[in-house]
Structure 1
């Protein structure tokens, strides 16, 4: 079985993925890190040098590669991964994949993301919390259709990473 974590940027996919992998002794793979290693460029460099369309095509290619070649792995997707190139269908149709949507409120996402917006190409242009909130609100509206197709949904607000990991373990093990 592979556990596929999805949700908007800042929802805790990487943190929860790493914690869960330690707890259940499964391998952990962050799809963005995997792409950076394979492409030998950071995600911001890929966006800057090749654009989002190129990145999304590569992201889809590497998602299929990972789901096809890895077993007993917790995989954190990028925030946009499920929303492009039929990727949500790739995840849903993979028999060994269990998908989990880490559902985080708009307010909590803005609080987490504003501090680190300069490290994230999609939101680096925002200059205030209100501007970021408008941007994230629009994205959540567009992306929730895809995120909600996950097999399981976990609301992360006001929960520690340990509480979320325990909730996932209760669902799957």
Structure 2
């Protein structure tokens, strides 16, 4: 089985996926880390030097390779991965895939992202917290359709990563 963790940036996909992989003894692939490894550049550098479209095409190719691998694994998707091209359809049409949507409110995400804004290429240009909140709200609205196609929805607010992992295990 391949377990895909989706959700908006800052929701905790990377942390939860590491703990879930350890608990289930599955290998972990963080899609952004995999892309950085292939390109030998940070995601920020890829966005800056080659643009979002290049990144999204590469992301889809890497996702396709992951889906073709017969191994069990945990995959932490990028926040926009399910929303581009046919990515969500590719995942959903793979019979060995299970998708988990880690959900949080706009306010929760804004607060969390405001602390790491400089390291996130999609939001590093925003000047203040109000702009960040508007950006997150708009994106969440646009992406909700894709995120809600997940097999399992987990609300992460007020929960530790371990509590989230336990909840995911119970719903698999």
TM-score (norm 1): 0.97
| Aligned partner of residue 51 in structure 1, secondary structure | helix
Superposition pairs for residues 1-173 of structure 1, below 5 Å? 1-69=1-69, 71-172=71-172
Cα 1:154–1:67, aligned 2, differ >3 Å: closer, same or farther?
Answer: same
Q: Distance in 2 between matches of 1:57 and 1:9?
A: 19
Structure 1 runs of 4+ off > 4 angstroms? Answer: none
Q: Distance in 2 between matches of 1:20 and 1:46?
A: 28
Q: Distance in 2 between matches of 1:70 and 1:5?
A: 18
**Could you report, residue by residue, the CA deviation over 1:104-140 in whole angstroms, capped at 9, with x for unpaired residues?**
1111101110010100000001121111000000000
| Aligned partner of residue 122 in structure 2, secondary structure | coil
Q: Distance in 1 between matches of 2:71 and 2:9?
A: 25
Cα distance, 1:38 vs. partner? 1.0
**Could you report, residue by residue, the CA deviation over 1:16-69 in whole angstroms, capped at 9, with x for unpaired residues?**
000111111111110000011111111111111111111100000100111212
Contiguous gaps of at least 5 residues in structure 2: none
Cα distance, 1:70 vs. partner? 5.1
Cα distance, 1:92 vs. partner? 0.3
Query: How many residues are aligned here?
Result: 172
